[in-house]
Every structure is written in structure tokens, then in C-alpha cells.
Amino acid sequence: MSGVWGWFGGGAAQKRKDSPKNAILGLRSQLDMLQKRERHLQSQIDEQDALARKYVSTNKNAAKAALKRRKQHEHTHEQTQSQIVTLEQQINAIESANINRETLAAMEKAGEAMKSIHGKLTPEKVDETMEKLREQNALSEEIVAAITTNAIGDTVDDEELDAELEELQQEQLDEQMLNTGNVPVSDAVHKMPTVANGEIKAKPVEEEDDEEAELRKLQAEMAM
């Protein structure tokens, strides 16, 4: 598999990606060892200090030897502390650099994605598209206006409508005059009863009274 990755350069890319991680792991391992050494040296320093205090009055040579060993341990302890600080700084620097690299890589991918999305899209093309949309919207409005304002079929003459309206009004007026008893002379003549054998039969008085009463009732209703 490593050979296949080597053909396409994948092995080198993966190695470059893992390089900071491996460096940090190595530094942390070394840091752990130095911290253990620091604790051991501190215990040695404490031990030699206790011996010097123990023999300070009874055995000066033993006390001096203990102090000498304590000094050596203290010197080594200081060096170890400096190394620990240096390693911690190096680890922080590598971690920061790795974060910066990963951030930059993510930003580059985002830039490529935006470039792919936009493609050949330019402000000029956007303006052109918007102008076409406005033209089509205006055309649609004109079409709707043409459909709604122009009636389908033959147009009706206004004069013909006015004449028909007057005829209807006259018919209504004639009907009202008939209901109230005010019938024009020509209509009254045509509505008179026909003569049979040269005589006009008179209606009974009671029937005439009833008709007069009905007529007055209709006139009162029309007046209201």
C-alpha cells in the first residue's frame, strides 16, 4: 500500500501532515522524562540536606560531603528545569504553527469552494440577468393588462343600450299608470268593453263599488 501511495505522492503528503504530530509526541515524551528526573533530583536534594543537618554537629566531614552532593544535585536540577521550560515552549510553538497551518488549509479549501460555486459568475452577468428578469416582468404586466382590458367578442353599441333602457322605463311607467287607473286615452279606448246588439251592458252597482274601493287602495299604496 505504501508503494501505491508513493506513486501518487500520497505518502509524502501524509508524512508532511503527520510530521508536527510526531514532533509533538516526541517532545512530550522527552518532557515527561525530564519532569520525572526533576522530581528525583528534588528528592536527592532533600535527602542530602537532611544528612548535612544530621551530621552538622557530630561529623563535619559527612556533613560537608552531604552539602557537596546537594550542590551537585541542585545544579543538575536547575539544568533540568531549564530544559523543561525549553521543551514546553517548543511544544507550544509547534502546536501554534500546526494550528496556523490547518487554519490556512481550511481557508484555502473554503476559497476553492467559493471559486467553484461562483464559476464564471461576474457582477456584469448578474446585472444582465437582473435586467432580463425586469424585462420579462414588464412584459408579463403588459400581457395581463391586455387580457383584462380588452373584452372578448362583439362590442355592444351604447346607443342601442340606451334605446333598450328607455323602452324598459316606458314599459314600467305604463304598468304603473295601469295599476293607478291613470291610463292614456288611446289605451282606455282599446280597453273599453265591446258593444253587443248596440247596447253596453252596465255592471252591477255593487261590483263598481268594489272596483272603486280596490282602486283607491292601490292609489294609497302607490302614494306611500
β-pair partners for 199: 196
Q: Please give the single-letter amino acid code of residue 174.
A: D
Tell me the fold of 2-120.
Answer: Helix Hairpins (1.10.287)
Quote the crossing angle between the two packed helices 205-223 and 158-180, to the nearest 10°: 130
Least confident interval from 47-51, 64-68, 69-73, 187-191: 187-191
β-pair partners for 196: 199
Q: Which of 183 and 172 is assigned the larger pLDDT? A: 172
Band of pLDDT at residue 145, cut at 50, 70 and 90? confident
The CA R_g of the chain, rounded to the nearest whole Å, is: 61
Domain ranges of the chain: 2-120, 164-192+206-223
Q: CB–CB of 66/55 below 8 Å?
A: yes
The pTM of the whole model exceeds 0.75: no
What pLDDT does residue 77 have? 97
pLDDT digits (tens, 9 = 90+) for 20-37: 889 889 999 999 999 999
Q: Which of 147 and 51 is assigned the larger pLDDT? A: 51
Instruction: For residue 211, give the H/E element and its range.
Output: helix 205-223
Inform me whether the pLDDT recorded for 199 exceeds 60.
no
Contacts of 176 (CB under 8 A, 6+ apart): 222
Helices (H), 9-157: 10-55, 60-118, 123-149
**For the range 194-203, what are the long-range contacts, defined as Cβ-Cβ under 8 Å and sequence gap of 24 or more?**
none
Phi, psi of 120 (to 5 degrees): -95, 20
Contacts of 18 (CB under 8 A, 6+ apart): none
pLDDT digits (tens, 9 = 90+) for 55-110: 888 999 999 999 999 999 999 999 999 999 999 999 999 999 989 999 999 999 99
Inform me whether the pLDDT recorded for 188 exceeds 70.
no
How far, rounded to the nearest angstrom, does the alpha carbon of residue 210 sit from its chain's CA centroid? 84
Question: Which residue reads 508532511 in cell numbers?
Answer: 16
pLDDT digits (tens, 9 = 90+) for 2-15: 444 444 455 666 66
Q: CB–CB of 72/44 below 8 Å?
A: no
